[in-house]
């Protein structure tokens, strides 16, 4: 069983065996050593060391509370943070200094965690490979010729490179789970609303979810517990507290459904092999395992790429060259300011999604596309609800293949297809985790464990069981 990394750091800082300054300094050095992977856009070194010194002073006074005392971490660069820029990896926000911090960051800092830098991502989180970053692509820690996944590729790579024990990501349609799978780390997308979205650059407000990437399930669970909870500044945050559970305890006999549509045509043989081997482990442990059909799985990707661009076009309307962000200096009218600022500030993928979103929301097409997609989304939710009436959790691969080569998915449709197994749970707001199955001679592959809405603790417990096995 993998040993947690966070608890030993906290205990060492608390006992005086090490210091928060030492932990931060060592993490900064590891980041510098791994800079060729381009996992980190910017470092928040000065503020991190200042916070570390404050924590060491507290410990010296006997104040040793904090579940993440002295633990360094990296935040995806769409989280508003102090100590440096927040760019969302886009030219549009280059130079933007956040006037406040996100709720997630504030809650982690309250527990003693220290943000040392901002991770690379696809600009505005639009992508599945981190190749759409305006700061250049992140490279896969296992093979520099391959992608780390996206959009939280920099966060996953930072954990896989052992720069920090955990990082923060966002998941709208697979953006935590895909890079976790490709980089061989744990990535958890909790139930929609479990963690406040306040202070995170919005992509699609009805599916955006905040979650951790870590080396072990136990570490991911601890970070989630520290972030989760109601936030008055986010009306979609859940009032019910996260159910805590001893995730290291073996779960009771489970009823497990393996999603048929995710195990058929289009799945790489190696991916199918390692997933089937893990399914066999569940059977050997005495759990009931059956195949289950989620018929709308084949429609989920089409629904996602109607609903999400529609929300993107709305959320990105605020970047107009007037209020904040990049502003064209040579414009001679208000209309020209809009045109030149948005043309230069957004990259090709950003513009593509804005155009799709505007199209499906436009007069004459709203009913044909957006309204119909939302109808099918409701069907997707009902199919998952029916499945969870019979099964405790559902299993599938995270992606059809392991990490692909840089530039291999230049065609946008080919890139969108990598989300085929992750968008369904996102549209339904369900908790889902990627647990690494194969790290070694072969590229890592992630097992996706999906739970019913609100059953985050059960998903984490099953994931810990799979990790231990």
Mean local confidence (pLDDT), 431-444: 86
How far, in Å, are 88, 273, 349, 356, 415 from residue 200 at the CA level? 9, 38, 20, 23, 24
Q: Could you tell me the pLDDT band of residue 244, with boundaries at 50, 70 and 90?
A: low
352 phi, psi to nearest 5 deg? -60, -45
pLDDT at 1: 64
pLDDT, mean of residues 88-109? 97
In angstroms, the CA 291 to CA 380 distance is 18
pTM here is: 0.97
Assess whether 351 carries a catalytic annotation.
no
CATH says 6-227 is which class? alpha beta
Catalytic one of 102, 129, 133, 151: 151
Q: Is the pLDDT of residue 286 over 80?
A: yes
User: Taking the domains of the chain in order of start, what are their residue ranges?
Assistant: 6-227
Residue 159, pLDDT score: 98
| Residues whose CB is less than 8 angstroms from the CB of residue 368 and which lie 6 or more positions away in sequence, other chains included | none
Cβ atoms within 10 Å of 423's Cβ, excluding its own? 24
Greatest distance between any 2 Cα atoms in the chain: 71
Q: Which of 76, 189, 340, 409 is catalytic?
A: 76
Question: Averaged over 40-55, what is the pLDDT?
Answer: 98
Percent of the chain with pLDDT over 70: 98
Choose between 219 and 441: higher pLDDT. Answer: 219
Q: What is the pLDDT of residues 158-212, one digit of tens each?
A: 999 999 999 999 999 999 999 999 999 999 999 999 999 999 999 999 999 999 9
pLDDT at 441: 67
Q: Is the pLDDT of residue 249 over 90?
A: no
pLDDT of res. 119: 98
Q: Mean pLDDT of all residues in the chain?
A: 96
Q: Is pLDDT of 248 > 70?
A: no
User: For 326-338, what is the mean pLDDT?
Assistant: 92
- What b/e sequence results for 194-213 when a residue is b if at least 16 CB atoms lie within 10 Å of its CB, and e otherwise? bbbbbbbbbbbebbbbbbbb
User: According to the model, what pLDDT value does residue 439 have?
Assistant: 63
Mind listing the pLDDT tens digit for each residue in 348-359? 999 999 999 999
| Catalytic site includes residue 175 | yes
Catalytic residue among 175, 181, 296, 341: 175
pLDDT of residue 440: 62
Q: Is 151 a catalytic residue?
A: yes
Exposed e or buried b for every residue in 91-128, given b needs 16+ CB within 10 A?
bbbbebebeebbbbbbbbbebbbbbbbbbbbbbbbbbb
Alpha carbon distances (Å) from 436 to 183, 212, 397, 446: 8, 15, 10, 4
């Amino acid at each position: 069983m993998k040993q947690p990394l966070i608890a030993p750091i906290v205990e060492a800082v608390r006992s005086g065996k090490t210091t928060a300054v030492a932990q931060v300094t060592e993490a900064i050095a590891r980041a510098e050593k791994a800079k060729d992977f381009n996992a980190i856009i910017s470092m928040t070194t000065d503020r991190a060391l200042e916070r570390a010194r404050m924590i060491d002073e507290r410990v010296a006074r006997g104040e040793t509370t904090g579940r993440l005392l002295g633990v360094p971490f990296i935040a995806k660069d769409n989280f508003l943070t102090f100590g440096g820029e927040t760019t969302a990896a886009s030219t549009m926000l280059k130079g933007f200094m956040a006037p406040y911090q996100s709720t997630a960051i504030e809650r982690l800092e309250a527990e003693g965690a220290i943000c040392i830098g901002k991770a690379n991502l696809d600009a505005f989180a639009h992508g599945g490979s981190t190749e759409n970053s305006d700061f250049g692509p992140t490279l896969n820690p296992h093979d520099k010729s391959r992608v780390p996944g996206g959009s939280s590729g920099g966060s996953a790579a930072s954990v896989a490179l052992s720069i920090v024990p955990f990082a923060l990501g966002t998941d709208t349609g697979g953006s935590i789970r895909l890079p976790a799978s490709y980089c061989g780390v744990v990535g958890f997308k909790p139930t929609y609303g479990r963690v406040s979205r306040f202070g995170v650059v919005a992509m699609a407000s009805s599916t955006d979810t905040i979650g951790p990437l870590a080396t072990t399930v136990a570490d991911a669970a601890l970070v989630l517990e520290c972030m989760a909870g109601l936030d008055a500044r986010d009306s979609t945050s859940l009032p019910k507290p996260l159910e805590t559970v001893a995730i290291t305890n073996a779960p009771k006999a489970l009823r497990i459904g393996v999603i048929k549509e995710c195990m058929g045509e289009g799945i790489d043989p190696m991916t199918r092999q390692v997933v089937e081997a893990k399914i066999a482990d569940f059977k050997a442990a005495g759990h009931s395992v059956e195949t289950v059909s989620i018929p709308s799985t084949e429609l989920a990707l089409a629904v996602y790429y109607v609903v999400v661009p529609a929300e993107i076009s709305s959320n990105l309307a605020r970047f107009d060259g007037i209020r904040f962000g990049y502003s064209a200096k040579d414009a001679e009218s208000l209309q020209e300011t809009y045109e030149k600022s948005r043309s230069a500030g957004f990259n090709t993928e950003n513009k593509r999604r804005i155009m799709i979103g505007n199209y499906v929301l436009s007069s004459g097409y709203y009913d044909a596309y957006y309204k119909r997609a939302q109808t099918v989304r409701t069907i997707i939710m009902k199919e998952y609800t029916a499945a969870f009436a019979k099964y405790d959790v559902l299993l599938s691969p995270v992606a059809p293949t392991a990490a692909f080569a840089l530039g291999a998915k230049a065609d946008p449709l080919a890139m969108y297809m990598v989300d085929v197994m992750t968008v369904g749970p996102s549209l339904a707001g369900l908790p889902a985790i990627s647990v690494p199955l194969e790290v070694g001679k072969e590229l890592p592959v992630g097992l996706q464990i999906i739970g019913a809405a609100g059953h985050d603790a059960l998903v984490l417990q099953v994931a810990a069981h799979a990790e231990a096995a």
